[in-house]
A = this chain, B = another copy of it.
Amino acid sequence: MQLSHAMSLLDAARSEAARLGVTVSISIMDAAAWPVAFIRMDGCPLGAIEVSQKKARTAVLFQMDSAVFATIAQPGGAAYSLENTNGGLTSFGGGVVLKGADGSVLGAIGVSGASTEDDIAIARAATQPAA
């Protein structure tokens, strides 16, 4: 993941957040879960900073969106306790995997600070631009 790519993802996510009238933190990580770029929009709750990072980390480490991860990694789920590995992961939506044209994982985006629905919508707007 090059910085120029990460910056364009940040811009797209930030535009969608503005359109929805919310303020969020947005983390971009590479395919090995190392941070590439991050922004916190004015007014975003401070707790959302780390949440955005953990959402991106969750998506990269298990190659699935955090909303999907949530279906298995919780009490009663098939992999309860998985959410407590790797420094603590995030069992709700807002972390979305970034894939290349060939399906390989390029990294992930994590969005936090609005409702989970809006967080997901913002992450998807960045990763799946409309035609």
Alpha-carbon gap, A50 to B84, bound state (A): 11
Q: What class of interface size applies to chain A in its complex with B?
A: 35 or more
Q: Mark A38-74, 1 if CB is under 8 A from B, else 0.
A: 1111100111011100100010111100000010011
B85 and A41 within 8 A (CB) = no
Interface flag for A33 (CB, 8 Å) = yes
Closest chain-B Cβ to A101's Cβ sits at a distance in Å of: 18
The smallest C-beta distance from A60 to any residue of chain B, in angstroms, reads 7
Shortest beta-carbon contacts, A-B, top 10: A47-B61, A32-B32, A81-B91, A75-B75, A38-B38, A47-B62, A84-B88, A37-B39, A79-B92, A81-B83
